[in-house]
């Protein structure tokens, strides 16, 4: 009898302990949209508290456009205004694609600081942490595009495609940049330091940017080099953006950008998620 009473007492104590620890129903895990926008809010708060990180979308676009227009305009096109009509879409693509590197840098910093491990313990869908950050990066890309286009208009840029053409060009850049960022998230998970990540990213990005049609017409290049330029995804994007801004775009040019974006995402997004789940 004593043993039975003791067991009942222990059972009652355990029940009281459970009620004290969890007196209400356990909340359901957040859905993918809720967790994605939560991580997007986190990225926005980072911008709010560290505003100097916006230098790459405010100061650098201005420097690039002014420097290349007035340094090379006279030599390449005979006039700065004529070269500006050709250059601005290319510099716009070059600037935004350069900014995409920081997606991988932010992820790499989270890993090194241990925040990454905390995210993996949360009852959320893992892709939401990455997609939320990528969505906020599109805000930064939009800011860089707006600053570049506004400055170009002040300098004399006149898009024949009108407002709709410019808007469509920016939308196409944002789409491509979202897919392009998956390359840097993959590297951000592989590289052990921020410096090594920046070095590897630069080695990949610089040839894509400078061996392209950003600065010169590919027809002026040697045939062996023109072959690479023609299939370079940066060149495909620049061609479509120029066409949209000047009203000469074709469905084939836009379709090639969509195809390149799909291929890049299909290759690097699964690799990123595999590494994200299995990172030690």
Q: What number of H helices and E strands is found in the chain?
A: 12, 0
Predicted confidence at residue 63, as pLDDT, reads 85
Kindly report whether the global pTM for this prediction surpasses the value 0.75: yes
Predicted confidence at residue 36, as pLDDT, reads 75
Per domain, the residue ranges of the chain are 33-278
Average pLDDT of the residues of the chain: 82
Buried residues in 176-213 as b, exposed as e (16+ CB within 10 A): bbbbbbbbbbbbbbbbeeeeebbebbeeebeebbebbb
What would the pLDDT profile of 220-250 be if each residue is shown by its tens digit?
888 888 888 889 999 999 999 999 999 999 9
Predicted confidence at residue 263, as pLDDT, reads 95
Q: Which residue has the higher pLDDT, 240 or 66?
A: 240
Predicted confidence at residue 255, as pLDDT, reads 95
Predicted confidence at residue 49, as pLDDT, reads 67
Predicted confidence at residue 88, as pLDDT, reads 92
Predicted confidence at residue 29, as pLDDT, reads 65
Predicted confidence at residue 7, as pLDDT, reads 44
> Span 176-185, mean pLDDT?
90
> Span 53-60, mean pLDDT?
72
> Span 11-34, mean pLDDT?
62
**Weakest-pLDDT range from 28-32, 103-107, 183-187, 249-253:** 28-32
Residue 94 has pLDDT above 50, yes or no: yes
Confidence of residue 6 (pLDDT cuts 50, 70, 90): low
* DSSP code at position 37: H
Q: Residues 6 or more apart from 233 whose CB is under 8 A from it?
A: 176, 180, 208, 257, 260, 264
Predicted confidence at residue 8, as pLDDT, reads 47
Report CA 104 to chain centroid distance, whole Å.
9
Confidence of residue 14 (pLDDT cuts 50, 70, 90): low
Residue 91 has pLDDT above 50, yes or no: yes
d(CA 192, CA 175): 29
3-state DSSP of 83-107 = HHHHHHHHHHHHHHHHHCHHHHHHH
CB 241 within 8 A of CB 173: yes
What would the pLDDT profile of 122-152 be if each residue is shown by its tens digit?
777 767 777 777 777 888 888 888 888 998 9
């Amino acid at each position: 009898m004593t043993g039975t009473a003791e067991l009942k007492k222990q059972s009652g104590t355990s029940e009281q302990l459970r009620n004290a620890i969890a007196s209400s129903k356990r909340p359901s895990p957040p859905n993918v949209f809720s967790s994605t926008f939560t991580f997007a809010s986190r990225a926005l708060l980072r911008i709010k508290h560290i505003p100097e990180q916006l230098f790459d979308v405010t100061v650098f676009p201005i420097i690039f456009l002014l420097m290349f227009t007035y340094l090379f305009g006279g030599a390449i096109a005979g006039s700065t205004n004529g070269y500006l009509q050709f250059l601005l879409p290319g510099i716009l693509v070059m600037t935004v694609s350069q900014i995409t590197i920081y997606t991988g840098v932010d992820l790499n910093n989270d890993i090194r600081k241990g925040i990454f491990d905390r995210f993996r313990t949360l009852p959320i869908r893992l892709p939401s942490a990455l997609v939320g950050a990528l969505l906020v990066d599109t805000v930064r890309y939009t800011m860089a595009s707006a600053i570049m286009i506004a400055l170009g208009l002040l300098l004399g840029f006149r898009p024949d495609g009108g407002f709709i053409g410019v808007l469509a060009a920016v939308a196409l850049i944002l789409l491509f940049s979202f897919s392009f960022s998956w390359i840097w998230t993959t590297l951000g998970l592989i590289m052990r330091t921020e410096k090594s990540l920046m070095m590897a990213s630069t080695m990949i990005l610089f040839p894509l940017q400078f061996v392209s049609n950003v600065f010169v017409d590919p027809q002026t290049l040697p045939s062996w080099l023109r072959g690479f330029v023609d299939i370079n995804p940066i060149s495909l994007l620049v061609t479509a953006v120029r066409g949209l801004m000047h009203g000469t775009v074709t469905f084939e040019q836009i379709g090639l950008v969509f195809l390149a974006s799909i291929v890049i995402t299909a290759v690097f997004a699964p690799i990123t998620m595999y590494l994200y789940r299995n990172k030690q």
